[in-house]
Amino acid sequence: MTGLRIGGLSSGMDIDSLVEKLMTAERIPLDKLTQKKTTTEWQRDSYRAINTKLKTFDTFLFDNFSLSSNFNKKTVTSTNASLVSATATSSASGNLSIEGVAQLANAARQIGGPVTVDNGATATSSTTMAEIGVNIDTKISLKSIQKDGTLAATATDIDIKSTDTIAQVLSKINGSNAGISALFENGKLSITAKNTGDLKGQSEVQVLAGSNVFDALGMADSTNLASDGTNAKFRVNGLDTERTSNNFSISGFNVTLSSKFNEGIFTVPATTATVAAVQLSSITDVDSMLGKVKEFVEKYNELISGMNDSLKEKKYRDYAPLTDEQRKDMSEEEQKLWDEKAKSGLLRSDSIVSSGLAEMRNAIYGRVGNEANVMDTFAEMGITTSSVYSDGGKLVINEDKLRKALTENPDQVVKTFSQSAEKTAATDTKGIVQRLRESLTKFNTNIETKAGKATQTDSQYSLGKSLIDMNNRITAFQRRLEDVESRYWKQFTAMETAINKANSQSSYLSGFGQQ
């Protein structure tokens, strides 16, 4: 509780101003501690900003290079894309010859007979199940052919109520995982498997329970709803084969069959009315791969450039963070300019950033393996370090040399970039991207040990522990200042009281002299 304060009525002194000036001097150590805390928070945020950039770059490396299929792009040409088209995976090589397509894959389907109500009228979508003879609630259980050409391992159960309309029943079927499409038009039901193919002796859509529902809906075979699915049948490189879908993978090619052709070659004797076989050819997409390498170099250079700038940034030691009192006397523009200098050089010559950069550089310089006469370094494919010292280790590309490497030996370029391996005592066969990502992980861990991350408490990283200590010291100092201010006021109040008492005695004595 604050005691009675007398503000200079007796002495004529500006006690408020005196105490304020005295406390300003007393607060100097607290201001310095608060400024140190602010600087530490800024430094923490600078570390975390670098970590955000490291993680962004790491994600880019994973998405574009860690899986060789994302980097090793290939294109396919077709001599007749209206009949057969294709795309290529990274494993596609050579050519495919599709000499004929005898049959396209089709989905199994059954169309029911007319559905009528008791009075003989044609049923509509709003007709209830009770009106067509399903008078009690029931359950249907369905299985159908899957994308992989096999029958579903487990059935899909659907509850049907006697009060459900035909439209509601179809909505339940179509919205389930049963793998079929149901349509009701002009008083008839159509059931179609969502996936193409022939299960060879089994129905492609089967009813395990609730066949009475499909009986009522006019299906001639209410147990085997659809049995006429077909496989695609074709001849590739002289071999007759088939697939359950018109879209399939073979020898690294993702093939799409669009039409039947040369059906006569599948008969004996073969007919002569044929067209030329469709040739599919895979070639490396050099432009796509070149673009990814360029993007890699751009993002790497942008990352290390920012960190190099932080390491070299000038430190203005005369510009400490502004206190609240100092900000009151400055315009917004003056505060902004001051803050820019106060925040400059927070990571100047920082050991964590310096060592992290060194690890990244080491990761990209090494040889992948130790085979003789094999291109397995960046330099051999045209990616080197800038000879300009001020570039700070930026990469530069000899585009002609890189294009030549991608054209003549794309698999080796991919291996050098993307190979996943374990380092042994004899050799290091890790691809450069794997090495670089490992260095980024170590860099990231070192920063988090120092500056933490947003999801951590201050007690979980070193700068946070420093902030906790500074907060405790600031709290203790503020309490001490309150005591000091109370002491000053107590002393000045005592002085004022004494002066007031002396003045009263003087007045009293002066009164006697006048008698």
- The alpha helices in 27-138, defined as continuous H runs, are 28-61, 68-71
Instruction: Write the pLDDT tens digit of every residue in 338-389.
Output: 999 999 999 999 999 999 999 999 998 878 866 655 667 888 889 999 888 8
Instruction: Write the pLDDT tens digit of every residue in 230-278.
Output: 999 999 999 999 999 999 999 989 999 999 999 988 887 766 667 899 9
Residue 207 pLDDT > 90: yes
Residue type, 57: F
Per-residue pLDDT averaged across 165-192, rounded?
96
**Which residues have C-beta within 8 Å of that of residue 122, sequence separation ≥ 6?**
114, 115, 116, 186, 187
**Which residues have C-beta within 8 Å of that of residue 116, sequence separation ≥ 6?**
122, 123, 132, 187
* DSSP code for 122: B
* Residue 6 confidence (pLDDT): 55
Residue 124 pLDDT > 90: yes
| Distance of alpha carbon 220 from the chain centroid | 51
SS3 14: coil
Q: 399-408 and 286-312 helices cross at what angle (nearest 10)?
A: 140
* Residue 294 confidence (pLDDT): 95
* Residue 338 confidence (pLDDT): 93
Structure tokens at 366: 């090494």
pTM for the complete prediction? Answer: 0.71
* Residue 27 confidence (pLDDT): 80
* Residue 508 confidence (pLDDT): 63
Instruction: Write the pLDDT tens digit of every residue in 52-102.
Output: 999 999 999 999 988 777 888 888 999 999 999 999 887 887 899 999 999
* Residue 31 confidence (pLDDT): 84
Long-range contacts of residues 466-472, Cβ cutoff 8 Å, at least 24 apart: 466/40, 467/37, 467/40, 467/41, 467/44, 470/33, 470/36, 470/37, 470/40, 471/37
Cross-strand partners of 78: 280
Structure tokens at 216: 């009522």
CA distance 510 to 507: 5
Residue type, 164: D
Over the chain, what is the mean pLDDT?
88
Share of residues in the chain with pLDDT > 90 (%): 63
* Residue 442 confidence (pLDDT): 96
Instruction: Write the pLDDT tens digit of every residue in 431-484.
Output: 899 999 999 999 999 999 999 998 999 999 999 999 999 999 988 888 888 878
Q: H or E segment at 392?
A: none
pLDDT band at 1 (very low <50, low <70, confident <90, very high): very low
* DSSP code for 121: P
CA distance 225 to 209: 12
* Residue 410 confidence (pLDDT): 87
* Residue 370 confidence (pLDDT): 61
Q: 462-513 and 432-451 helices cross at what angle (nearest 10)?
A: 20
Residue type, 187: G
pLDDT band at 18 (very low <50, low <70, confident <90, very high): confident
CA distance 199 to 193: 12
* Residue 234 confidence (pLDDT): 97
Structure tokens at 332: 């917004």
CA distance 355 to 361: 10
pLDDT band at 391 (very low <50, low <70, confident <90, very high): confident
In the chain, domain spans: 28-68+288-313+348-460, 74-104+232-284, 109-226
Per-residue pLDDT averaged across 130-143, rounded?
95
